[in-house]
């Protein structure tokens, strides 16, 4: 599934229209300016099913060879708990056939070739 530019609000929780927020990053017309902006755009990519964006923004040293998203999981919310220059701690909520759940992570990011990329994270 690919993201729709007509999506009313961005899944990242900014309150902005998807096309003006994370959609512009997903389309490649802008780059994330901070680690938190990249993390929010990656969450939005999970929410809209944009595996190609997730793969492109993953550090080549740590990204998987293939990335397949779980189509049975619907991402329902994002709460950022804290962030620094190269890390973001968050809780993402979802619905799945097994019921609602959440994923907590402290993610690490790195600037590579002038762009932020996701390195890895510690699940909570």
Spell out the domains of the chain, with CATH numbers in brackets: 18-123 (3.10.450.50)
- Whether 1 shows a pLDDT value over 50: the answer reads no
Q: How far apart are CA 10 and CA 29, in angstroms?
A: 16
Does residue 2 carry a pLDDT above 80?
no
Task: At 108, list the tokens.
Answer: 């690490």
Would you say residue 124 has pLDDT above 90?
A: no
Task: Identify the weakest region by mean pLDDT among 4-8, 43-47, 106-110, 113-117.
Answer: 4-8
Helices (H) and strands (E) in the chain, counts: 3, 4
Cα(97)–Cα(80) distance, integer angstroms: 25
Average pLDDT value for the chain: 94
- Cα separation of 71 and 37, whole Å? 24
pTM (2 d.p.): 0.92
């Amino acid at each position: 599934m690919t993201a729709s530019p007509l999506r009313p609000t961005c899944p990242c929780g900014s309150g902005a229209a998807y096309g003006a927020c994370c959609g512009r990053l997903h389309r490649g017309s802008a780059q994330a300016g901070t680690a938190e902006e990249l993390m929010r755009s990656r969450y939005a990519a999970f929410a809209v099913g944009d595996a190609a964006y997730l793969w492109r923004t993953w550090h080549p040293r740590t990204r998987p060879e293939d990335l397949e998203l779980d189509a049975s999981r619907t991402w329902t919310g994002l709460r950022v708990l804290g962030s620094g220059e190269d890390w973001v701690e968050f809780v993402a909520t979802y619905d799945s056939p097994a019921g609602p759940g959440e994923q907590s992570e402290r993610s690490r990011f790195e600037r590579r070739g002038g762009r932020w990329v996701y390195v890895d994270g510690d699940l909570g």
